Each structure stands twice: as C-alpha cells, then as structure tokens.
Structure 1
Amino acid sequence: MPRTSNTSASTSSPPNYALNTLGGLPWSDLGGSDGPLDMSDAMTYLDTVKLEFLDKPEVYCQFLDTMREFRVLRIDCAGVIERLGTLFYGKPALLEGFNMFLPRGYRIDISTDPRNPYPIMVTTPQGIKMQNVTPPESYRG
C-alpha cells in the first residue's frame, strides 16, 4: 500500500512498543510467500490504517490494542483475524494487506460476492476457516 503525502498522519508515531516482533515472531519469520518484512512495511501499513480511519480514531486505537495483545501472546493469529474482520468491516484491502504480517502458512482472502455469508476465508496450517463478519456497533446508524 503506497504511503500517502498526508504528513500530519505519518509524522505522529504509534504508541511506544517494540515493532521488531509480532506475536512473538521476529519480522524475518513473517511475510508469508512475499518474503521477510522490514520496518518500513509496518510503518506504511500503520499509516494506511490510520488514514483510512481518520473519522473513527477509536478504530485505529482498537487496531493498535489488538496488535499489542498479539505481540505479547494474549491472542493468537485467529483471534487477530477475527477482530480485524470486524474492525475493518467494509475495507477488504486493509484485511488483505494484513497478510504480510501473518506467519507463514496463514492467509486471509476476501470474497467480493455480496451474497456470500462468509466473506472472509482464513487459511491456517490447521486448515481453512470461513468467517462471517458483522459491522461493529459504531458503524450502525
């Protein structure tokens, strides 16, 4: 995802926690088939999420909280994907972009068929799981 020119979003830094591991795994073990990540990948993704939710900063904060919980092993990959499926409701590019942060053997695919009751397909080393997603309370009018 390309970095945008909105300097106000990219100059403020995320909360101070180590980004050299995710879910206890070093960056070199993440990235699936696209190869290892570097910090610029992480920062670009954080900027993209922040810009996408400028009108809902609580979503960005919940995303950061989810990442913190994953980093310290309070939740697993499946838990992260489930939460992000809700947080990023209606934003399939953000979910698919998260693939670069998943350990090898994990993948998120999004169905574009509006009739599909399980729009998120998660591939794990244990198999495939379909996930139904509902919009978060803050999305409902």
Structure 2
Amino acid sequence: MAGGSKPVPTKDDAHAYLKAVSDHFHNDRKKYEDFVALLIKFKAHKIDREDVIRGVRVLLNGQPNLVSGFNAFLPEWLYISVPFRFSKKTNN
C-alpha cells in the first residue's frame, strides 16, 4: 500500500487483540502465557522482531484469524502470510 495509509493500532486495539488470544486459548493457558512472554521479551529488547515473528508462527500455527490480527501490529513488509505453511523441522 503506497503512502503509508495503514491505520496505527491503538492501546484499545492491543487490549482487544490480547483478549481475543486469551479467549481462544482458554483451554490452553500455557500457550497464551507463552505468547504474552514473547511480547514482553520483545518489549524489553531481549529478542528481535524476527524472533517474535518466528514465535508467533509457532504459537498461532493453524489460527489464521489470530495471525491476521497480529499483522495489524506489524509493518506491511513483515506481515505473516495467512494461511502460512509451517513444518516442524528439527535440525538435531
């Protein structure tokens, strides 16, 4: 989108999104807590945005509505495609 016309999310938007994530994972509190911990680490500059996006891809895998909601807080060039493909490869 040219001209940077994407609306800037508000604190209310952030709270509403976190509530949506919390409601979605009401039966899996660990996943919600891991999601919040990821955001806290980013805010504290302990991880970079690539780590956040990687973590979101893992935690919200299979939840396109939540991924789309998360994209509202990202610059367009960092959007996570929905649906994204995720494979659990390990390099051990």
**TM > 0.5:** yes
In the TM superposition, what is the alpha-carbon distance from 1:104 to its structure 2 partner? 5.2
CA shift digits 1:50-79 (9 cap, x unpaired): 000000001110011000011111111111
TM-score of the two chains, using structure 1 as the length reference = 0.55
Pick aligned residue for 2:20 from 38, 41, 48? 48
TM-score of the two chains, using structure 2 as the length reference = 0.80
Q: Which runs of 5+ in 2 are unaligned?
A: none
Q: Which runs of 5+ in 1 are unaligned?
A: 1-31, 112-117, 120-131, 135-141
Q: Which residue of 2 aligns with 1:98?
A: 70
Structure with greater helix percent:
2
Q: Which residue of 1 aligns with 2:7?
A: 35
CA shift digits 1:91-132 (9 cap, x unpaired): 111112101111353211123xxxxxx61xxxxxxxxxxxx3
Structure with greater strand percent:
1
Runs of 4 or more off by more than 2 Å in structure 1? Answer: none
How many residue pairs end up in the alignment? 85
* Structure number, greater radius of gyration: 1
In the TM superposition, what is the alpha-carbon distance from 1:87 to its structure 2 partner? 0.8
- How well do the aligned residues superpose, as a CA RMSD in angstroms? 1.8
**Identity across matched positions, percent:** 31
| Alpha-carbon distance in structure 2 between the residues aligned to 1:74 and 1:67 | 10
